[in-house]
Structure 1
Amino acid sequence: MKPGVSLGGLAAIVLVLAAVAGSFAYLDMPLGALFTGAAAGEAVAFVQRFFPPDLSADFLAKVGAAALETLAISLVSTLLAAVAGALLAMPAAGRQGRAVRRGARFALNLLRSVPELVWATLMVLAAGLGPFAGTLALALHTTGVLGRLFAEALENAPPAPAQALAEGGTPSVAAFLYGTLPLVAPQWLAYSLYRWEMNIRMAAILGFVGAGGLGGLLYYSLSLFHEAQASTVILAMLAMAIAVDGASAWLRRKA
């Protein structure tokens, strides 16, 4: 046995490998079939059906409208979540007592523990098909995520500036706005922009459950086996993700 390798570490490696092997056996995954000549030919034929993309003017207009809808869903949901998350972050950070703190943290845990696709399914049932359901779904999940991150930033912020203002007779709201908020605002902005990047991707995916946007158009194209149109939608998703990543990085540098 090599120096530095403990029996516990070796046992953990063996257990992990055994778990992986057992998982493959339990799922009955025929991985060997992926490396046959027939599988390679089918894969090539499948990819070829997606090229060239459909660049007709009518379909590009549909893609552009769906892309704007996806962008709007991500922006509105992130904005709503940032506002709601900030409101829940203050009690979750313990500023209104332990009982309120526990209630706020429970609400945040509940919101973020439910995946976006599950929220979207529930919101489609509650509000019907369309972008409104997708916006609500992303806003609910993102509120849980941002609220927790905002609360942690508040807990780690130095209390001295706000305490000094409060001791000087400044109202509690003004003490927070001028003593604490400037300290956490850069972190809150960075967290919000990061979640916007994620929501632009999720907004595209939520269309598969009827939440509108590029995902809905992609689902429609694939359902009809219009691979060329699906390829155009996928490229639009990629271009939008790259553009949003660049915009978010630029905004973080300027903040």
Structure 2
Amino acid sequence: MPASPDNFNPVKLLAAAAILMLVISSFVSLNIEWRSLFADDAASKTWEFLQGFAPPDLAGAVLKKTALASFETLAMSALGTLIAAALGLLMALPASGRFGQITKSLTRLFLNMARAVPELVWASIMLIAAGLGPFAGTLALAAHTAGVLGRLFAETLENTPPQAENTLRLNGADATSAFLYSTLMQSLPQMLSYTLYRWENNIRAAAILGVVGAGGLGQMLKYHLSLFQMQTAATVIIAMLVMVALVDALSFALRRWLMR
């Protein structure tokens, strides 16, 4: 059924036009060479490069080193996510407006700044402060993820129905007890789901952070690629894929169990 003139919204029309112009200008400004991408020469060179990765190096020493680096990457992501969840929960309280509008605005500004800085930039800063190794990578993941989880946790607290907390307050419970036993308990499954999802992302991010010297599989991958040891690099890449797939499956199962 066609929309009537009374339902015409010029703001929506202008927004749609702006989005369309942004898409068109993006294609024009990027100057994408589709012909070069799908040329026969590009395909043959890519195939020749990929052949250098086969077969992966399955020597015992390489597998042992890869396993240790995988554990290091997993530990970085898990500890970084745990620290971020704790910091995010602490900052979510003022960010949800429980201590006034000014505190809410300032806390949200800080959270926006924390998550606006990419993990690689945080890693570069932490490498200067903490030196090379997985500790810097863990701090980088925690800094960025705290901004993300803090905002998500704050919105979860804001969207939680207040009736249960108000009922406890009316029956004589203090503010802290009412919050802990009502609002927080209602929000906890959603918060845990967000935390698990961010852990999945941090597994991938931890593997990349090693490229700047933060340890784990990323550092091992950069080392072997710089020496053109492609078969050993293939082993590291396979380890990344396997670890990410396992963590994704585990996180998905836990989220489904929590949301029952």
TM-score (structure 1 length as normaliser): 0.91
Match of 2:92, SS state, is: helix
Distance in 1 (CA, whole Å) between partners of 2:19 and 2:200 is 36
Deviation at 1:41, TM superposition (A): 2.4
Amino acid at match of 2:253: W
Distance of aligned partners of 1:15 and 1:81 in 2 relative to their CA distance in 1, 3 Å threshold? closer
Task: Encode CA deviations 1:97-116: one digit per residue, 9 max, x unaligned.
Answer: 11211221111111111111
Deviation at 1:86, TM superposition (A): 0.4
Distance of aligned partners of 1:37 and 1:180 in 2 relative to their CA distance in 1, 3 Å threshold? closer
Distance of aligned partners of 1:95 and 1:54 in 2 relative to their CA distance in 1, 3 Å threshold? same
Task: Encode CA deviations 1:145-197: one digit per residue, 9 max, x unaligned.
Answer: 00000000100111111112122221222111111111101110110000000
Distance in 2 (CA, whole Å) between partners of 1:204 and 1:76 is 14
Query: Are positions 1:70 and 2:73 aligned together?
Result: yes
TM-score (structure 2 length as normaliser): 0.89
Match 2:190 to one of 177, 187, 192: 187
Amino acid at match of 2:116: S
Query: Are positions 1:48 and 2:55 aligned together?
Result: no
Query: Are positions 1:134 and 2:137 aligned together?
Result: yes
Alignment partner, residue 23 of structure 1: 30
Distance in 1 (CA, whole Å) between partners of 2:23 and 2:43 is 31
Distance in 1 (CA, whole Å) between partners of 2:21 and 2:59 is 55
Please identify runs of 4+ aligned residues in structure 1 that moved more than 4 A: 7-15
Query: Are positions 1:196 and 2:186 aligned together?
Result: no
Distance in 2 (CA, whole Å) between partners of 1:102 and 1:20 is 37
Alignment partner, residue 84 of structure 1: 87
Match of 2:86, SS state, is: helix
Distance in 2 (CA, whole Å) between partners of 1:84 and 1:15 is 37
Amino acid at match of 2:28: A
Alignment partner, residue 39 of structure 1: 42
Amino acid at match of 1:223: S
Query: Are positions 1:205 and 2:208 aligned together?
Result: yes
Match of 2:129, SS state, is: helix
Identity among equivalent positions (%) equals 53
Match of 1:129, SS state, is: coil
Match of 2:97, SS state, is: coil
Query: Are positions 1:215 and 2:218 aligned together?
Result: yes
Amino acid at match of 2:137: G
Task: Name structure 2 gaps, 5 residues minimum.
Answer: 4-12
Distance of aligned partners of 1:14 and 1:143 in 2 relative to their CA distance in 1, 3 Å threshold? closer
Match 1:235 to one of 230, 234, 238: 238
